[in-house]
Structure 1
């Protein structure tokens, strides 16, 4: 896998099946609950279609047609309109530890600013320690409870950052 063939780009319809598999595999690998998480979201099998509004975007990591990860920005459901949520950020083991997670995270934060959001919220599972460490290093602060109506009642980590 050569770095020159890896790009971060906006999702396309043909990416749906591969990104769904990457997302679902992470839940099994890290033993994250399947219910009350992105695993059981109705949009997970149709990620392209789920990110087609003017105030959201989803990116994938593409290695010559192989989708190895992704992450997106959407308005936080049932909450203030100037707060977005970084969501469905999952990566194949093939790209973990190589800086692509940070690059995707930075891409999402830049997109959130460009879309005009004032704060960025995220939810995670305690099992994803490396991801939580990255969020903290970017200035995300822990919250005592969830914001909005994400439906992810099995996520036990809630964080927010001013943009």
Structure 2
């Protein structure tokens, strides 16, 4: 998709769609991050069956999962998905996670940009997300991207452990 040289990095950060071989690496990053922040509990993505086969999970029309690579190694991912129960024209920004070594390199920003661009191209009007206050740095980045807080959840994602809900107009 994109090869981007982040000014703070010597090597390029590249973003591409997920491949079947990426599944175990992305699953490890997601579960590792949730464990790191004490969120490896029911009601979070930690227990989503989709985690172990992200490639297949994102074959649904209107969805795409992007992986970020640094020096050829997967360092994170994030996707867009038409989650259950969301109103027409709204997709969810889902499973945005970075390996600890990748934080602060601009990879998260590039992943969000790729997701927003995909959502716009697909014709979505808004992008919704659910997260937890423990991910304060990520929440601050979402705010910079124009996500605004909601008073409650949209749709039926099953992530009852999330207590921060945000929406962005595209």
**TM-score category (smaller protein):** over 0.9
1:90 corresponds to 2:97: yes
Distance 1:144 1:155 in 2: 12
1:71 corresponds to 2:115: no
CA shift at 1:149, angstroms?
A: 0.4
TM-score, normalized by length of structure 1? 0.95
Counterpart of 1:87 in 2: which secondary structure?
A: strand
1:127 corresponds to 2:134: yes
Distance 2:140 2:122 in 1: 25
Q: Which runs of 5+ in 1 are unaligned?
A: none
CA shift at 1:80, angstroms?
A: 1.4
CA shift at 1:97, angstroms?
A: 0.6
Matches within 5 A, 1:25-44: 25-44=32-51
CA shift at 1:38, angstroms?
A: 0.8
Preserved contact between residue 18 and residue 66 of structure 1 (Cα < 8 Å)? no
TM-score, normalized by length of structure 2? 0.91
CA shift at 1:2, angstroms?
A: 4.8
Distance 1:35 1:54 in 2: 27
Preserved contact between residue 11 and residue 71 of structure 2 (Cα < 8 Å)? no
CA shift at 1:33, angstroms?
A: 4.3
The number of equivalent residue pairs is 162
Preserved contact between residue 31 and residue 40 of structure 2 (Cα < 8 Å)? no
Q: Which runs of 5+ in 2 are unaligned?
A: 1-8
**Deviation digits for residues 111-130 of structure 1 (CA, Å, limit 9, x no counterpart):** 11011100110000110000
2:28 maps to which residue? 21
CA shift at 1:61, angstroms?
A: 1.1
Structural RMSD (CA): 1.3
1:151 corresponds to 2:151: no
Distance 2:128 2:37 in 1: 22
Preserved contact between residue 75 and residue 81 of structure 1 (Cα < 8 Å)? no
Preserved contact between residue 16 and residue 45 of structure 1 (Cα < 8 Å)? yes
Q: Answer with 58-67 or 89-98: which moved more.
A: 58-67
Counterpart of 1:44 in 2: which secondary structure?
A: helix
